[in-house]
Amino acid sequence: MSAPDKWDVQTIRALSPAHVGGYLRAHGWVDRGPYGAFGRLFQRQVNDRLLEVVLPTRSSIADFERRMGELLTDLSNAEDRGPDAVLFDLTLAPFDVIRVRSKDADDYGSVRFVEGVQLHEEARNALVAAARAATADVPRKAWKGRRPEAVNEYIDRVRLGQTEKSSFSLTILSPYSFDPVDEPQRGLFSQEAFGRRVARQFAKALGAIETALAEGVTNPIPAFEKTVAAGVSADLCQSLAKLADNDVGAEVSISWSPAKPVSEPVRLALTRQDAAILNEVAREFARQELELGARLEGIITKIAEEPKTFDGSATIEALVEGRLRRVHITGFNDNERELLIDAFRNRKRIEVEGELAVEGHRFRLANPHDLIVRDTQETEAQEPNE
């Protein structure tokens, strides 16, 4: 490539010398040190030939595009492939690449509008689930409540790349070196940047799902119970199920930054039958998981009134998931007993926050706090609107 065209110049100008250097090292080139004021010499032995390329180290120099174009030409010759293909890989150097492919595309690579929108939404939801798993100290079967700010910052930095021909495929670019602003300093057990940890978590979860689908043909729940430690959650299962719930299924794959590869690419192909299993797992995991920070409002229907028999528990009728249900609350302290007894005797509404869980067919709220007892007038004023 003697002279890049206008489009190539714009793309070349955007290349990062640091990421291109990472690409060279990952592909067997050895950094031999400075070459002039703004370059570094890289060498690679191929049979009896010693190949050399020069990497411009500052994008602000006047002839950066020309020097990077010369590097691109040399790499194209060394790798025996077209300069456009090499340039494309260099543009991906800052990213781990997640591809979500719909197999339901026609010969033109198009899908129904509604399906395309859902592909974007569920791909994002799956990535959010992987990011939440990467932030958590303890794996969870379902992610409930407010998302950590680190997850929001990461999603804001993720980009969409060009789609591939002959299919409808989302190319999601995950910046492997990204760290949130308020991310705690990495410790001994977390040497990687947050962006790379998310991609690794996603890949680990996909591998665990593939194993569980094979092992749990007749009874999937026990097989999927073992995947929770790998970051598999109700949220991830539900998103993948929606992606695959068509006649031909879907495919999710992860390939690593060409500047910093860590392993072989990961690929999970899903069918409509897999979607049905994933939906079943998602429902069961969501049912089992605590909902942190759940706030309930209702009338106490059962409580031990005598001081000697009061055990810190009560039963209320409250709206849960849109239906009036009985919820057993445990963990009230003795100082709250008189308030609760008064609310029980006078049918006053209470509001309380805690950790909501399902045990069999029963709902339980643990660790109650921020108790509020509404007076009778407030309760009566609300009842006609219920």
CA 271, 273, 276: angle at the middle one, nearest 5? Answer: 115
Query: Strand locations in 180-249, DSSP E?
Result: none
- What pLDDT score was predicted for residue 55? 95
Residue in this structure with the two tokens 């033109």, named with its chain if needed: 108
- Parts of the chain belonging to CATH 2.40.50.140: 292-385
Residue in this structure with the two tokens 């709220």, named with its chain if needed: 365
Residue 156's nearest CA partner among 146, 147, 167, 166 is: 147
- What pLDDT score was predicted for residue 384? 45
- What pLDDT score was predicted for residue 382? 55
- What pLDDT score was predicted for residue 292? 66
- What pLDDT score was predicted for residue 348? 94
- What pLDDT score was predicted for residue 1? 42
Q: Rounded to 5 degrees, what are φ and ψ at 255?
A: -120, 150
Q: How far is CA 234 from CA 26, 72, 141, in A?
A: 36, 45, 6
- What pLDDT score was predicted for residue 350? 95
Torsion angle, alpha carbons of 65, 71, 73, 78, to 10 = -170
Q: Which two tokens stand for residue 224?
A: 């999927």
- What pLDDT score was predicted for residue 3? 45
- Is residue 256 within 8 A of residue 112, CB to CB? The reply is no
Q: Which two tokens stand for residue 190?
A: 């977390």
CATH code, 292-385: 2.40.50.140
Q: What is the DSSP letter of 184?
A: P
Residue type, 235: D
- What pLDDT score was predicted for residue 187? 45
Q: How far is CA 203 from CA 82, 96, 255, 331, in A?
A: 30, 11, 9, 39
Average pLDDT per consecutive 10 residues, the chain (386 residues; last block may be shorter): 56 89 91 93 92 93 91 92 87 92 69 84 96 91 87 95 71 93 55 93 97 93 95 97 89 91 91 95 86 85 87 93 89 92 93 84 88 73 50
